[in-house]
Amino acid sequence: MGLLAAARHLVVFTGAGVSRESGIPTFRDAEGMWAKLDPLVYATPQGFRREPELVWSWYQWRRRKMGEVAPNPAHYAIAELERLIPRVTVVTQNIDGLHQRAGSSDVLELHGSIVRFKCFAGCRGDPTPVPPPLLESDELAHCPHCGALVRPDVVWFNERLPAAVWEMAAGVAVTCDAMLIVGTSGVVEPAASLPKYAAHQGAFLVEVNPEETPLTAIADVTLYGRAGEVLPRLVERIRALKS
């Protein structure tokens, strides 16, 4: 762990597993969301076009649920790393905002955010925060500018990642000296390529996951276990090594 403690720029790359202990289900486990729901219906533009009420009400329900949960010790440990390492960038596939709520100050959201909306027709470039009347309603909303449906500002399958966020994430992946990979199955591209970019440039890779993943093969170290248990211990070890 000395190489992690000595890092000048650490990227923490996270997936659904980091929020599992906050009570948010992951996607691909036996109990995961994609075991019960068809991602082609709930997570594609085509699904939203075909069944907008169904998809909209699911995101409204998820957004309410995510508002009810709190960051867990893994999110707090990641935020704490900012006190120990000169630069820490969190690159997350999660849309739940829990890293920011735990105190991480530099967070790149690769797959968007559940608390922002945008026009389904894409009439204006910038996504907007949730306007208060929409927070409570399961009714479909319409864009005030062009009348098209309003959709959550998340990335669906068959869609590109937000270009500026992706460029920043790829940029930090190729320049960081260490990467901590937490709670991701590492199968969804292009996000899953970020650890490969970092490894290619010689960064030290540490994975935290209860299970082996396709990224285990390129990680220098895998710490098997739950993020909420492993990460606080890891932070304490880094603190001890630096004192």
Residues identified as active-site: 111
* Binding residue count for ligand OAD, defined by CB under 6 A: 24
* Residue 226 in contact with ligand OAD, rule: CB under 6 A: yes
Using CA atoms in the order 79, 82, 83, 84, what is the torsion angle rounded to 10 degrees? Answer: 110
Binding span for ligand OAD by CB under 6 A among 15-23, 76-84, 166-174, 233-241: 15-23
Specify the 3-state DSSP secondary structure of 193: helix
Question: In angstroms, how far is the first alpha carbon of the chain from the final one?
Answer: 14
Question: Is the Cβ of residue 93 or residue 177 nearer to ligand OAD in the bound state?
Answer: 93
Q: Which one, 177 or 181, has the nearer CB to ligand OAD?
A: 181
List, as own/partner pairs, every contact residues 52-61 make where C-beta atoms lie below 8 angstroms and the sequence separation is at least 24, other chains included: 52/140, 52/149, 53/138, 53/140, 56/138, 56/140, 56/141, 56/149, 56/151, 57/138, 59/114, 59/152, 59/154, 60/137, 60/138, 61/138
113 binds ligand OAD (CB under 6 A): no
Our finding on whether 27 is near ligand OAD (CB under 6 A) is yes
Could you say whether residue 167 binds ligand OAD (CB under 6 A)? no
Say whether residue 184 binds ligand OAD (CB under 6 A): yes
Q: Does 188 bind ligand OAD (CB under 6 A)?
A: yes
Site for ligand OAD in 59-88 (CB under 6 A): none
Distances 143 to 126, 131, 230 between C-alpha atoms, Å: 13, 11, 44
* Contacting residue, 140, 211, 217, 242, with ligand OAD by CB under 6 A: 211
Count other C-beta atoms under 10 Å from residue 126's C-beta: 7
* In the complex, least distance from residue 32 CB atom to ligand OAD, rounded to whole angstroms: 5
Candidates 16, 78, 90, 199; binder of ligand OAD (CB under 6 A) is: 16
| Choice between 35 and 140, CB closer to ligand OAD | 35
Residues found near ligand OAD in the complex (CB under 6 A): 15-17, 20-21, 26-28, 32, 43, 93, 111, 155, 183-185, 188, 208-211, 213, 226-227
